[in-house]
């Protein structure tokens, strides 16, 4: 797949058909993620991959987030909240959940650079998933239940989950996407 096609064709998918994802493919996604740029090549990331029983444990914890979705009623509207609630109830049957973690240093400048680096790694992962015929969604809403998730993923002190990437074989067509175009100022 051409890069431009991968970039424009990737979408967040929140419903999966439940088919397992081959371990080799998961390995390719992680490898792609590690090719991302990072602050002084520090590569400030770690990928915790949950499948099978551990994925079930993650989903059980994530189901608790439905209680917080009302906070987004103004932004998402009732239909959006309902869609999100359906997704969080069992992570859309996604067979794989990857917690992308980064060290937390307490230095705002380093933490910001780490977040930028991790964002680049996640995008590599999402684009590669799309290229391999997989679907995915990167979610940050787990911040509501950060501590519970930390314990399911057996995270060590000093590391924080930045995002959960749920992935599998997609089973929904996403709504049409609108992109803002008034986002650039050219200096002459």
Ligand X SMILES: Cc1cc2nc3c(=O)[nH]c(=O)nc-3n(C[C@H](O)[C@H](O)[C@H](O)COP(=O)(O)O)c2cc1C
Question: Applying CB under 6 A, which of residues 28, 47, 141, 148 lies at the interface with ligand X?
Answer: 141
Q: Report how far residue 121's alpha carbon sits from residue 69's, in angstroms, rounded to the nearest whole number.
A: 27
Contact stretch for ligand X (CB under 6 A) within 47-55, 94-102, 104-112, 136-144 = 136-144
Which lies closer to ligand X via its Cβ, residue 102 or residue 138? 138
C-alpha span between 148 and 83 (Å, rounded): 23
Using rule CB under 6 A, residue 174 touches ligand X: yes
Q: Angle formed by the axes of helices 23-34 and 108-131, to 10°?
A: 140
| 13 versus 157: smaller Cβ distance to ligand X | 13
x-marked contacts with ligand X along 22-61 as a string, rule CB under 6 A: ----------------------------------------
Q: Per-residue x/- mask for ligand X, residues 87 to 106, rule CB under 6 A?
A: x-------------------
Which span sits near ligand X by CB under 6 A: 30-38, 40-48, 134-142, 153-161? 134-142
> Could you tell me which residues are beta bridge partners of residue 96?
51, 167
Instruction: Give the whole-angstrom CA distance, residue 103 versus residue 110.
Output: 10
- Map residue 19 onto helix, strand or coil: coil
Is residue 139 a contact point for ligand X (CB under 6 A)? yes
Q: How far is the CB of 42 from ligand X (least distance, A)?
A: 20
**Cα end-to-end distance, the chain, whole Å:** 36
Is residue 125 within 8 Å of 165, Cβ to Cβ? Answer: yes
């Amino acid at each position: 797949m051409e890069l431009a096609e991968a970039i424009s064709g990737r979408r967040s998918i929140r419903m999966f058909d439940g088919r397992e994802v081959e371990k080799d493919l998961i390995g390719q996604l992680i490898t792609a993620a590690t090719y991302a740029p990072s602050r002084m090549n520090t590569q400030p990331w770690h990928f915790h991959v949950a499948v099978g029983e551990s994925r079930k444990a993650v989903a059980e914890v994530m189901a608790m987030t439905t209680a917080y979705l009302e906070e987004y009623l103004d932004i998402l509207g009732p239909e959006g909240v309902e869609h999100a609630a359906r997704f969080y109830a069992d992570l859309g049957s996604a067979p794989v959940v990857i917690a992308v973690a980064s060290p937390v240093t307490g230095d705002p400048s380093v933490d910001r650079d780490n977040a930028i680096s991790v964002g680049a790694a996640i995008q590599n992962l999402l684009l590669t998933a799309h290229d391999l015929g997989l679907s995915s969604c990167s979610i940050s809403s787990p911040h509501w239940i950060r501590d519970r998730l930390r314990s399911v993923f057996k995270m060590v002190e000093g590391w924080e989950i930045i995002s959960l990437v749920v992935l599998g074989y997609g089973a929904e067509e996403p709504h049409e996407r609108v992109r803002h175009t008034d986002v650039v100022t050219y200096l002459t």
